[in-house]
Amino acid sequence: MDKQHNESPSILGAEIVQGDLADAGSLEPAMRGVSAIFSAQYADSCDPSVELRNAANMVKAAQKAGIEQVVHTSVAGSNLFPRWNKYKALTGYYEQKYQIEEFVRSGGFRYWTILHPCLFMESFEEESAKVMAPELRDGVLFGVLKPDTQIKWTCGDNTAQFARAAFENPEEFNRSDIDVAGDELSMSQAAQTLSRVLGKSVVYEAVSHKEAVRRGLLEGTVCGQEWMEAVTPSFGFDINKTRQYGVPLTNLETWAATHREKIFIR
């Protein structure tokens, strides 16, 4: 949230204000004096309704507070139709993301921007890799994607750069759905990039759905990879359109070089 006043202690110029997205009443004082907000909703695997409900609370509170601008981060592919309906849970995931986007688009805000990040490079960091790349510690990436299928990659910094650009130039980015990616590489190319940057051997193995789950990938992750394989081009957008905005973007090689201490390979 962008505060116009500074009555509470600040950290690096940011005023800390407590609020709970699940408690609509707590959002009103938190948004007092605010001109723009960045929305990043969290999902609850135990209760899928949480994300949708919290987003609705945020939009209603923002409307009541007279917020002028909302920059919301969603997910790549949520605005693609018709839905790829092979897996009900995956379809529901994208439908819910899109419904939240519609809350923002139809919220009556003077400015709105929706960001659609794709596959995160942070999946290779040690903590995330335990789930997203469980054999990376042994120098192995695996999944159901074909070795040469081109997929889009992004990182948290790329989303932050677009959010900053939108806040600094609201007119330029107004009423825009922006697909965020800093690189386009196949899984084999991603493995080669990690090998080159980290100085350790990393290979990619294409396996069956059943084998991927057996070796430690979550069922949802495997289904998501099948979705990426089925959508052409990767995530349904052209990375050159992302680059045309002129926003500084980080590719996988640069990201790996600056995050090498967070990537564990024996």
Residue 102 — very low, low, confident or very high, per pLDDT cuts 50/70/90? very high
Residue 4 — very low, low, confident or very high, per pLDDT cuts 50/70/90? very low
Mean pLDDT for the stretch of residues 229-235: 86
Q: What is the CATH number assigned to the segment(s) 24-262? A: 3.40.50.720
Share of the chain above pLDDT 70, in %: 96
d(CA 113, CA 101) in angstroms, rounded, equals 10
Query: How much is the mean pLDDT over the chain?
Result: 93
pLDDT for res 135? 98
Q: Residue 5 above 60 pLDDT?
A: no
For 85, the 3-state DSSP assignment is coil
Give, in order, the Cα–Cα distances in Å from 172 to each of 113, 143, 165, 167, 239. 10, 39, 9, 10, 19
Name which of 167, 151, 155 is nearest 256 in CA terms: 155
